[in-house]
Amino acid sequence: MNKITIPVALLKNPIHFLSLGFGSGLMPFAPGTFGTLAAIPVYLLLWKLSVLHYSLVVLVLFILGVFLCQKTSDELGVHDHSGIVFDEFVGFFITMIAVPHDWKWIVTGFVLFRLFDIVKPWPISYLDKKVHGGMGIMLDDVLAGIFALGVMHLLILYFK
């Protein structure tokens, strides 16, 4: 957890409002978990899209996230401050690509994504340490989302 406190006034700026997950990143504990929870209603707005359109939206959000996270990181003067949670949004959205529309899969996706994001198995941990800036902030969560997506589809294959 980063020691620097995020001023609530930052939420007035749309860039920071988004990178801080609509304010969910301001939680004093587990901001990544609360950021992922805040991603669920957004996911519910997207889940009716075709896999192609959903994936394109996620790609655009990834590109946007590199910019947003870099700007907020620069403003705070801290690389990958725990309050920056837009990367959790994108990682969770990746986890949910082509997943059946059912609450059990949303909960499973949430748990798997958080697990991979927290534990950071190799090469996620490598990217987290070696890639900096907005791209670095986003990439470890993207890879955690890809790992969780793989496990999700194995579970779907065997338990749907």
53-67 pLDDT tens trace: 999 999 999 999 999
Contact in structure between 49 and 57 (CB atoms under 8 Å): yes
Confidence of residue 1 (pLDDT cuts 50, 70, 90): very low
Domain chopping of the chain, boundaries? 8-159
Check residue 98 and give left, alpha or beta (phi > 0: left; psi -120 to 50: alpha). Answer: left
- Structure confidence by residue, pLDDT tens digits, 103-121: 999 999 999 999 999 999 8
Residue type, 79: H
Q: What is the pTM of this model?
A: 0.94
Token pair for residue 137? 């902030």
Q: Is the pLDDT of residue 158 over 50?
A: yes
Average pLDDT, the chain: 94
* Side chain identity, residue 39: A
